[in-house]
Chain A
Amino acid sequence: MKIVVCLKQVPDSETRVKLDPTGKSLDSAGVSLVVNPYDEYAIEEALKLKEAAGAGEVIILTLGASGAATAIRNALAMGADRGILLKADTANADARAISEALSSTIKELSPDLVLCGKQAIDDDGAQVGPRIAELLGWPCVTVVTKLEISPGKVRAEREIEGGIEVCECALPAVITAQKGLNEPRYASLKGIMAAKKKEILEQDVTLSAPGLVTSSMSLPAGRSAGRMVGSGKEAVPELVRILREEARVI
């Protein structure tokens, strides 16, 4: 079974986000980068499927700057077989352009399955997985928390409001991973050493002009200071009044 996992390198969730002077993107200075956490579920699932099948190949596909090779290396240390880095300037790229570039490489690879994170934690677009499926004309199941593969067929459980939806589709297909799908493994020390010898193919790609342009970004307003209503039992009626009449939360 040949599986392609789409991986994005994103700022660490513990990073304090700052805007760059243009106000249209994030300031990358001093930001530590990690593998998008939802993509880690996708990697883990691909590795588990390969292990269960006893054969196959897990290919990591990334689009980004040359530094993104570090993220691929992490996935290879977890156990993926090889990586492909599509080097492109993503400063003005939109989800369509990125999905087009990824899907044309996927088409050449002709895998049985494509796994993506359900979204990247930086721009929260959640578009790339479904767009790849659309461009390839393959079925797509998003936000998957359980995945079973039988010959030529996929059974996936996905989270919906208040419950679980069970879907079936044919292979090849695109699946996007949600938290709960599995528990991603640590990169073992032997895995780190083995990853040194694994191939990362780098290709320059030119992205098509964006159809969507970011006009501005802004940070959320700081929280205003709290207000002391009083203390002890005496303060309760006033607190209840404020919650009911001013905040209108009860």
Chain B
Amino acid sequence: MATHTQDDVTGVPPMAELSDIHLQVRATARQFSDEVVRPRAAAADESGEFPASNIREMAELGFLGLPFPEEFGGAGLDNLSYMIAVEEISRSCASTGITLAAHISLGCSPIWDFGTPEQKRKYLPRLASGKALGCFGLTEPNAGSDAGGTQTHARAVDGGWIVNGNKIYITNGSVAEVCVFTARTSKEQGTKGISSFIVEKGAPGYRVGKRENKMGLRSSDTVELIFEDCFIPKENLLGVEGQGYKQFLKTLAGGRISIGALSLGIAQGAFEAAVKYSKERQQFGQAICEFQAVQFMLADMGLKIEASRHLVYEAARRKDLGLPYSKQGAMAKLFASEAAMWCADKAIQVHGGFGYMRECPVERMFRDAKLMEIGEGTSEIQRMVIAREILKES
């Protein structure tokens, strides 16, 4: 039966900074996650099929344009609401969570942040309403953590550019109608001379290459994108030529918070499963939650999740307030992703042999969690970002 919970399922009072609006977003996201997303998660993981129904229904509820203004087809909510939504969806299905996060933080945000008024008017209403999905083409075979190594090349021609090169591991790559990507527009090396462009599905010379067969997040769409003499008209240059590197650093700084929220959701899902199972599973004549060894695992999981939630919400709050959030976002992503991996591991441990089986949801969460320590900046890159910010401050 449908119920609109106003508070945490546990009845615990919400954190002080959550307004009624945030609680309502959480209630809708949680209800949708529990009733619609969760029942489909295991089958989607097994088949690897893109969660198109989840995305369509989320679009109807306004999730796909969550933090963008209503005049551009968004829901007009803030970043904290967006993180709460990603967290709640990822509690049930991280593949759906990353599809949402990549669409908003990587597909829509660069257009919102750097696009010309015409580009915003042309693309955002379609993207924010969920009529089209967005993606972000940054990673290349020789440009991973070192994104300055971008080799995709854009040669200036009459009225635009001719692009050649390929992008790999692109989330939403084959389902997205709109792709923001980076390419080199000058012969300069390193971080200079990179620009961002917008390309639409179906553009001649732009196609999907290899589809990846992944360890986790199996129903999220991850593909190679290939540019072969692809003509990009000059009006599809995103913002200013040569600003590509700066642009994607900012895009990733925002996107990281959403990976923190995704991690938080996975950890919370694994934790809830572990708590429930530990109360049901009987060994040596009692529920295994009576054993201190199990209790200590639950205690540490709860602790890491609570700390992750504070870091993720705080980074989002800073972004909403227009305060610097680079360090906080990197901290949130780093801590929450490592916490998710740890919690998923311990959740399997609590489940014992059953936890290792495909039919047990925490087995999927464990595989899903690993990407959190890699995507949108590895843990090592996060530590570099944090250290740089600390040294800049002192």
Residues of B within 8 A of A179 (CB): 1
Other-chain contact of A189, B2, B4, B8, B63 (Cβ < 8 Å): B63
Are the CB atoms of A32 and B6 closer together than 8 Å? yes
Query: Which of these binds chain A: B21-29, B111-119, B383-391?
Result: B21-29
Partner of B25, one of A37, A40, A184, A189: A189
Contact residue among A14, A74, A193 (Cβ-Cβ distance under 8 Å from B77): A193
0 or 1 for each of B8-26: is its CB under 8 Å from A? (1 = yes):
1101100000001100110
Q: How many residues of A contact B (CB 8 A)?
A: 30
Check B6–A192 contact: CB distance below 8 A.
no
**Contacting pair A32 B20 (CB below 8 A):** no
A188 to B28, CA, bound (A): 7
Question: Can you name the residue of chain A whose Cβ is closest to the Cβ of B3?
Answer: A34
Which of A30, A73, A184, A196 is the one whose CB lies under 8 Å from B11? A30
Q: For A189, what are the chain B residues with a Cβ–Cβ distance below 8 Å?
A: 25, 28, 61-63, 66, 75, 77, 81, 85
Whether A193 pairs with B75 at a CB distance below 8 angstroms is: yes
Q: How far is the CA of A8 from the CA of B28 in the complex (A)?
A: 19
Task: Contact check, A188 vs B7: say whether CB atoms are below 8 A apart.
Answer: no
Cα A71 to Cα B20 in complex, Å, equals 11
Contact B4 A187 (CB under 8 A): yes
A183 CB–B CB distance under 8 Å? yes
Contact A187 B27 (CB under 8 A): yes
B282 at the interface (CB under 8 A from A): no
The answer to whether B60 and A188 touch across the interface, beta carbons within 8 angstroms, is yes
Minimum Cβ distance to chain B for residue A164 (Å):
21
Report yes or no: B62 in contact with A32, Cβ–Cβ below 8 A.
Answer: no
Distance in angstroms between the alpha carbons of A32 and B1 in the assembled complex:
16
Residues 32-73 of chain A: 1 if any B CB is under 8 Å from the residue's CB, otherwise 0?
111101001000000000000000000000000000001101
- CB pair B62–A188 under 8 Å, yes or no, is yes
Asked if B32 and A15 sit within 8 Å, CB to CB, the answer is no
CB-based contact A33/B6 at 8 Å: yes
The answer, yes or no, to whether A106 is at the interface (CB within 8 Å) is: no
Chain B residue nearest to A16 in the complex (CB)? B11
**Does A156 count as interface, using CB distance less than 8 angstroms?**
no
B81 cross-chain contacts in A, Cβ below 8 A: 189
Given the contacts A70-B20, A186-B32, A192 and B25 also touching, CB distance less than 8 Å:
yes
Residues of B within 8 A of A30 (CB): 11-12
Q: Does B31 contact A (CB under 8 A)?
A: yes
- Cβ-based interface call for A233 (8 A): no
| B5 near A32: Cβ-Cβ < 8 Å | yes
Q: Smallest distance from the beta carbon of A81 to chain B beta carbons, Å? A: 17
What residues of chain A lie closer than 8 Å to B28, measured between beta carbons? 77, 186-189, 192
Which residue in chain B gives the minimum CB-CB distance to A76?
B24
B30 to chain A, nearest CB (A): 10
Contact B4 A32 (CB under 8 A): no
Set B6, B32, B60: member contacting A71, Cβ < 8 A: B6
- Asked whether any CB of chain A lies closer than 8 Å to the CB of B70, the reply is yes
- Most chain-A CB neighbours within 10 Å: which of B11, B21, B77? B11
A13 at interface by CB-CB < 8 Å? yes
Measured in the bound complex, the distance between the Cα atoms of B77 and A31 in whole Å is: 28
In the complex, chain A residues whose CB is within 8 Å of the CB of B27: 74, 187
Residues on A with beta carbons closer than 8 Å to the beta carbon of B205: none
Residues of B within 8 A of A186 (CB): 2, 28, 31-32, 61
Chain A residues near B24 (CB-CB < 8 A):
73-74, 77, 187, 192, 195
**Shortest CB distance B70–A (Å):** 7
CB contacts (< 8 Å) of B32 on chain A: these are 186
In the complex, which of the residues A33, A40, A73, A77 contacts B7, with contact meaning CB atoms closer than 8 Å?
Answer: A33
Any B CB within 8 A of the CB of A248: no
**A223 at interface, CB cutoff 8 A:** no
Taking the closest CB of chain B, its distance from the CB of A27, in whole angstroms, is 12
Cα–Cα, bound, A227→B32 (Å): 41
| Contact pattern, B 31-68, Cβ under 8 Å of A = 1, otherwise 0 | 11000000000000000000000000000111100100
Quote the shortest CB–CB distance from B33 to chain A (angstroms): 11
Residues in A with CB closer than 8 Å to B141 are none
Contacts of A40 in B (CB 8 A): 2-4
CB neighbours of A191 from chain B (8 A): 62
A159 proximal to B (CB < 8 A)? no
Q: How far is the CB of A194 from chain B (nearest CB, A)?
A: 9
What is the bound-complex CA distance between A183 and B25, given in angstroms? 20
Given contacts A74-B24, A189-B62, contact A183 B2 (CB under 8 A): yes
Q: In the complex, what distance in Å separates the CA atom of A248 from the CA atom of B9?
A: 40
In-complex Cβ contact of A188 among B9, B20, B61 (8 A): B61
- Flag if A15 contacts B11 (CB, 8 Å): yes
Given A32-B6, A34-B6, 20 extra CB contacts under 8 A: A12-B3, A12-B5, A12-B11, A30-B12, A31-B11, A32-B8, A33-B6, A34-B5, A37-B2, A40-B3, A40-B4, A70-B6, A77-B28, A184-B2, A188-B61, A188-B62, A189-B77, A189-B81, A189-B85, A193-B76
- Please, could you name 9 A-B residue pairs with CB atoms under 8 Å apart, sorted by A? A12-B11, A32-B9, A34-B5, A34-B6, A35-B4, A70-B20, A187-B28, A188-B28, A190-B76
Q: Which residues of A contact B (CB under 8 A)?
A: 12-15, 30-35, 37, 40, 70-71, 73-74, 77, 179, 183-184, 186-193, 195-196
List 3 A-B pairs, minimum CB-CB distance, nearest first: A189-B62, A189-B75, A32-B7
